[in-house]
Amino acid sequence: QLNSNEIAEILPHRYPFALVDRITDGESGAWARGIKCVSAGEPYFCGHFPQKHVMPGVLILEAMAQVGAVAILSLPENRGKIALFGGVKNARFRRQVVPGDVLTLECELVEQHGPVGIGKATAWVDGVRAANAELTFVLADA
């Protein structure tokens, strides 16, 4: 397990863009599972949407990508690098994510060729799939 301070030692993201509260399980270079506790105090709810808060799908994708980034950047040879989005394929949003939800985020790294890789990511709320996507990343020097 990694807490938010330990995640901050691996990822460059900071508030308000640090979207993973805890890493609960994983294997460096292979996969990771984490959680995001969605709160009504999140800054994006001021405008998305003020009358009916819904977590933006693009931020769910980002949270899944950050979990995958922990998996790849926790390898000793990748320490100090950053993982950039290279692409998103087959993204599907299956359930609205609202304040009070706890997102369980999983990303399995299924392919890597040099600095470019692919992760299969899924987000769950209470055992129900909220989103899934294939995420392409590129490792770069920070």
Q: Write down the pLDDT at residue 138.
A: 98
CA distances to 23, 47, 108, 114, 129 from 122, in Å: 14, 25, 9, 24, 7
pTM: 0.97
Q: Distance between CA atoms of 104 and 102, rounded to whole angstroms?
A: 6
Which residue among the candidates 13, 48, 53, 113 is catalytic per the annotation?
A: 48
Confidence of residue 12 (pLDDT cuts 50, 70, 90): very high
Q: Write down the pLDDT at residue 32.
A: 98
Q: pLDDT tens, 89-138?
A: 999 999 999 999 999 999 999 999 999 999 999 999 999 999 999 999 99
48 is a catalytic site residue: yes
Q: Write down the pLDDT at residue 125.
A: 98
Q: Write down the pLDDT at residue 114.
A: 96
Q: Write down the pLDDT at residue 33.
A: 98
Q: pLDDT tens, 51-100?
A: 999 999 999 999 999 999 999 999 999 999 999 999 999 999 999 999 99
Q: Write down the pLDDT at residue 94.
A: 98
Token pair, residue 30, equals 């292979």
CA distances to 39, 79, 114, 121, 138 from 61, in Å: 17, 23, 23, 8, 16
Is residue 60 a contact partner of residue 93, using CB atoms and an 8 Å limit? yes
Span 22-50, mean pLDDT? 97
